[in-house]
Amino acid sequence: MKELETMLELKKITKMLGDKLILRNITLSLKEGETLAVVGPNGAGKSTFFKCTVGLLQPTGGEIILDGEVVKKKSAAIKQKIGFLGHESFLYNNLTPLENLRFYGKLYKVKDIDRKSTELLKEVGLYLFRDVPIRSFSRGMMQRLAIARVLLAEPKILMLDEPHTGLDQEAVALLNRIIKEKQKTGTSILIISHDFEQVHTLADRVAILKKGKIVDTVQLNGEMGLAEMKDWYEKVVMGA
């Protein structure tokens, strides 16, 4: 069998914020087609880790290699290959869903923007609202549009920071369906989450971040049950 390629590699990443060491020597890799979830207690450094990985923050030390290329902050390589969904939506309130997608489509040099935008708006259930300025949208509707924006450029890697937060049951199911479709096409996915149920449903491997360090990882492979995964987490977080 062909060895799967490493899509993303973090080598000894550290991050200082002020005089605090927030990330300590993080070494982690994400393979082609793999879904990795990073979980951990509040304040462990998950969002900081996410921002460093997607290029919103420059790590203090270490190296990030994406699809064979060393990543620099805000490098064009990241923008093209990673679709990331963070806490900010990066959407424009005065624009409609269609206008927002066109804007990003141009920025990312997407081909056939109008057709793709229309398809995506249908997929996330916003087609009827395609010409309404989004300022009046609910949080869940914004998140749906943010998901469509992320998918527009057909990224090789998806990075999702707490993607299920604020979504209703229907939108959670929709997001999971989209993630599972992307998994089938070989997209690599990194999810930061507090939601064990979603992590268990979606991830192949889970890593625990505690006090800025990856303290343990486990392979789920459909063999570890949810309760067993929670036990593992509790043991590692209380014990380590």
Ligand X SMILES: Nc1ncnc2c1ncn2[C@@H]1O[C@H](COP(=O)(O)OP(=O)(O)OP(=O)(O)O)[C@@H](O)[C@H]1O
Residue among 97 and 163 whose Cβ is closer to ligand X: 163
Report how far residue 158's alpha carbon sits from residue 156's, in angstroms, rounded to the nearest whole number: 7
* Site residues (CB under 6 A) for ligand X, limited to 68-127: none
Please say which residue, 3 or 19, places its beta carbon nearer to ligand X.
Answer: 19
- Whole-angstrom distance, CA of residue 168 vs CA of residue 125: 13
Find the binding residues for ligand X in span 33-52 (CB under 6 A): 40, 42-48
CB atoms within 10 A of CB 106: 10
Dihedral of CA atoms 133, 134, 136, 140 in degrees, nearest 10, equals 160
What is the helix (H) or strand (E) element at residue 4, kind and residue range?
none
Pick from 22, 57, 66, 171 the residue near ligand X by CB under 6 A: 22
Does 59 help bind ligand X (rule: CB under 6 A)?
no
By CB under 6 A, name the one of 5, 12, 17, 165 that touches ligand X. 17
* Smaller CB separation from ligand X, 22 or 126: 22
Could you say which of 3, 18, 112, 169 contacts ligand X (CB under 6 A)?
18
Provide CB contacts within 8 A for 197, sequence distance 6+.
Answer: 226
Residue 18 or 222 with smaller CB distance to ligand X = 18
d(CA 227, CA 240): 19
Provide the binding-site residues for ligand X, judged by CB under 6 A. 17-18, 20, 22, 40, 42-48
